[in-house]
Each structure stands twice: as C-alpha cells, then as structure tokens.
Structure 1
C-alpha cells in the first residue's frame, strides 16, 4: 500500500507511558528515538506537553511534560533525526507554558479532546499554530458519540484552521464497517482536512482497522512498538511498516529495539490481549475498570469480571 502522502506517527513513549506513568529511562527513549529514525518513521510522539502545576514529578516521569532539557538529553549534540510530537490535554497545559517552536525541539502538538470540547481544542490548537507548530486535533471516544452530535462536531472542526483531524477508536470498539462509515463521514464533512487514525486493540482489530482506514483514504497513521499502549494497546508499528510498501521504511531497527527495550517491559507491565480489555472493548466502555482488574490480585478471575461488567451494562 504505497502512497507517498501517508505519514506514520509512533506513540510508543506517549501512549505506552500511560501504563507506567511515563517512567521510561533515557536509555529506553534514546534507543526508541534512534530506531524510529533509522526505520524512516515520520514522527515520534515523545510524550505529553503539560504544565508543571498539573502533575507531580515525584509521581510521573519526564515524558508527561516534555520539557526542553529532557528533549535535549535524548537528541544529544547531533542534528535531530526525526520530527518530534507531543500531545496536549485541555486543562493540563497553560498557554504561556507552550514555547515558541523556534525555541524548542518539538515540531508538532496534537490536541486531544472529546466532542463537547471542540471549541477549546480549536482555540488551543490555533494558539500552537500561531507559535509555529504543526497541529492536529484528535477527537476521542467517537464510538460513544451519537450521529447528530458527531456531525455537528465535524462541522465545527471543518471551520477551524487545524489541517489534520484524527478519528480515534479510544475503546477499541470499532469494526471494519465502522471505520469505513466514519472515514467517509469525516472526509465528506471536512473535505479540506487530512484525516488520521488512532486505533486501540481491545478486539485485536487495531491493525486491521488501520488497514481499512488506509484503503478509505486516511493518511496519518498512529502505531506503537509491539503495540504497547494503554490497556489493550495500539496498532503494532512493526506490522504497519511491513504492510506499507514504501521503500523508505525499514523494519529491522524496530525489531532490534523491541528485543532490547520493549520486551523487558513486557515482564513488568501487561498490555495487549487480555480478557478484561476485550470485555471493555466489546461493551464500548473506557478500559479503566479493566485496567484496575489487571492491576489487582484478581486479574485472572476473568469470569467474575465478565459477569460484573455485563450485568452493569445491562442495568442488572
């Protein structure tokens, strides 16, 4: 599926950090950074851009903030090898804490929002654009949004200056036909925008749904090394690059960094296919209950979890 306008964004540190409070050491982040550059990946989302007042550095690692000193430790003295992105959550970053792009190492800021926050997201993204950044708006949890509200939200996004809008399957609830319908809706409502996809893997469909989105014309693709990410994780980057027939992409550097840095984390934290994450995806629910189950001493008591979740969903 060679299409030169396709861009690949790796979210390993940012989304994977949701599983360990961004407690990746510099060796991990540096090796991921160099591997992604060697593989030809277009962007590395190295974490979140947050104000220091929003989180306690004693509880979360540096990639919740993406401060310039932290970024410089990763880049080193040589020329930057790959574009760097950070995600901004509404209410967790003050406008004054966003540096001018020319004074820092970040290239792109992606604003995450829910449908009722579109106005605030557009304002924040416009502020970032005015400071020189590439921007996207990532519209989350659209599997929970009714058709009329979604259409109104997309109409509002069509009017903003942000050039890239993301379709986000936050709960891993979508199937191929959902992606096809939504991709068509996004493109028809926002014909001048580039559309992106961020898929979670609760039902083992993140890769398949990403392929479906590419066929539909979506050009910005999110993925992570070995699928690491919140809960069930994301579309695996090594699978995605193997599918894309662009000769600029090289898979071997990804395999090497997975062996050296990702697999050791597999022994410490659980992401990927587990029954609790599957249940939350099937029920189209936030994985917080599943994550709590997986972090408890009852993570293998999956029948009890299934009964509790399905009973709650049925209102029993």
Structure 2
C-alpha cells in the first residue's frame, strides 16, 4: 500500500486514542495509584479529548493476592465508579482481561450494571480459543470488545494470518498490532499493519496499535501505523508502562491533527503528576537493559529484574542476553 503524506496531515475521524496509563503503568508500581491521581487522570483525559481510558485489569482475585496489588489490578465496577461516577462524558471506560487470568464469567458483569464500555481481551497465539470465548461472553453481556494478540514479533506471518482470520470472525470492533518486546522498526510496522488491515477490513474490523519503547520507537511506530489505516492508538502519559514504557500521550496528542485533541492538558498532567511519580522513585522508561531485550526480540522480564537489582553492568547484561539466544 502506497502511503500518502496526506494521511498523516488530515483529520481522520475514525481515529480513537486510548489511554493505558493506569493499566500498563500499573505494571511498574503494582497498581498503587492514589485515588487523587486516578481522578486527575480521568479529568485530564476528558479535557484532552481522549476517546477511551483503560482503568486497569480485571484480574482473578483467586490467582492474585489483593494485599499485594493496588485496586487497578482488579478494577472492580464499584471502584471505577468511585473515580468516574456515572461518567456523563464522551470518554469511554475500558478494562483489560487476560486470557487465563480473569474469571470473566463471574467477574465481568452485564454492561447494564457496569460503568465499563469496552473489554480489551489480551491473548497469546496459543490461547486463542480462550480469547474467542471471552470476546463472545463480553459481547453478549453488552460490551464493545477488542483483542490484543501479544508477542507477534516472535510469531510467523502465517500463524498471525491464521489467528487474524479466527479472531476477526468474533464480534470484536478492533484487532491490535502489539509490539510486546519493543523490537519492531517502522518499516516492519508498516508491513504488519498493512497485513492486519487487509484481513481485518474483510470482516469490517478496525486495527489498533500498542507499542513499547525499548528502542525509543513507540511514537515512531504509532504514527507510522496512523498512515497505514490503523485507527485505535494506545498511549500513556510520560510513556509510563512496563519496562521501557509506551508511546507518550503528550507526543501523540500533539501529532494528531484533529482539534478535539488538546495536548496542553496532557503536558499539565505530566508536570503535576507524572514527574512527581518519578521523583518518588517509580522507575520506567528507556534504558540500556531494555534496549538489549528490544534488539534481541526478547521478553523484558530479564531487564526488569536487572533494574530491580540496581545493576549498572549493561555490557555484561547484553552478553548474558546473547548467550540466552
């Protein structure tokens, strides 16, 4: 598909910006955000024109100890209401449900009883049958549904195509390109996004992107995807997210040409809330250990452990990663 510069300059009414700060950012601090932070984030998203706010995970309390995580690991309907009330705004509320980690039949209630609008189902390729069941359950309960197939950079194109054909026959509205390891370059993103769009459009589905910043390419990959007919764009304030983080919301809102998006509110939130988080010792963002796992297309768990240990021997870590291949 030949990309025109106009695709980057025009207002695309189909674009939807999704704030994943509480969910992906929560992986950094075990979801211990204050209610003040969550409320300020919600109000900022409303003012900034963000389309969806992902409040967190709907994790199974039988698998995860409530005493070891903040409330957004579980994102109960009641706790969400504590922040958003009846949410009489244009901002839609989302949660993520991981295949195998969510007791969705019991813990995801009918839409009529919930402040949540969108259920985002996250899955690996080998879990796809479970993802299909979760998507259908959420849809039948009245929710919008999307699907994130994770770790696609380690899968073959044929396997991805087969998975897309399966999941696009479910009632999802959008299928996501997910660069879980932050290993993709914009040229790869273009090729993958085109493939996703070719298959998704046959079924009337949208395509989204969720990028990680291991090689400082999350923003580049996201805006590349905008020119490749990708509509759902994930971002987090100050790039807060697992390991190296994600596409920065303040960058994305500044890039998008639709006047409904107002980056000034994002910049103010970063100053008032994100920078103090860093000053309190919450650690995320690009660093050499995440570069190593991104370059080598590996899960960042080893880099996260490197960070927790306070190690600075980056070259030795890189050598360790090479020896793991």
Report the TM range for the smaller structure's normalisation.
Answer: over 0.9
- How far apart in 2 are the matches of 1:212 and 1:196? 12
Aligned residue among 126, 129, 135 for 2:136: 126
* 1:81–1:195 Cα change, 3 Å: closer
TM-superposed CA distance for 1:80, in Å, is 4.8
Which residue is 2:229 aligned to?
217
Query: Bigger CA drift: 68-77 or 95-104?
Result: 68-77
Question: For 1:207, what is the secondary structure of its paired residue?
Answer: helix
TM-superposed CA distance for 1:22, in Å, is 0.3
TM-superposed CA distance for 1:158, in Å, is 2.7
TM-superposed CA distance for 1:81, in Å, is 5.8
1:287 aligns with 2:300: yes
Question: For 1:262, what is the secondary structure of its paired residue?
Answer: helix
Which residue is 2:251 aligned to?
239
Question: For 1:54, what is the secondary structure of its paired residue?
Answer: coil
TM-superposed CA distance for 1:89, in Å, is 0.6
TM-superposed CA distance for 1:311, in Å, is 2.2
Q: How many pairs are equivalent?
A: 312
Aligned residue among 47, 56, 66 for 1:57: 66
TM-superposed CA distance for 1:78, in Å, is 6.9
Which residue is 1:108 aligned to?
118
* Matched-pair contact (CA < 8 Å) for 2:87–2:115: no
Aligned residue among 143, 160, 163 for 1:150: 160
* Matched-pair contact (CA < 8 Å) for 1:48–1:87: yes
Which residue is 1:85 aligned to?
94
Structure 2: unaligned runs, 5 residues or longer: 1-8
- How far apart in 1 are the matches of 2:137 and 2:163? 20
1:121-177 Cα shifts (integer Å, max 9, x gaps): 111011001111111010110000012211211121232221210010000000011
Aligned residue among 24, 27, 40 for 1:31: 40
Moved over 3 A (4+): 76-81
1:263-288 Cα shifts (integer Å, max 9, x gaps): 11112122111000000000000000
Query: Bigger CA drift: 252-261 or 196-205?
Result: 252-261
Which residue is 1:296 aligned to?
309
* Matched-pair contact (CA < 8 Å) for 2:86–2:115: no
Question: For 2:18, what is the secondary structure of its paired residue?
Answer: strand
- How far apart in 1 are the matches of 2:144 and 2:171? 11
Aligned residue among 16, 22, 31 for 2:25: 16
* TM-score normalised by the chain length of structure 2: 0.93
1:205 aligns with 2:214: no
CA RMSD of aligned residues (A): 1.3
Structure 1: unaligned runs, 5 residues or longer: none
TM-superposed CA distance for 1:310, in Å, is 1.5
TM-superposed CA distance for 1:79, in Å, is 3.2
- How far apart in 2 are the matches of 1:78 and 1:174? 36
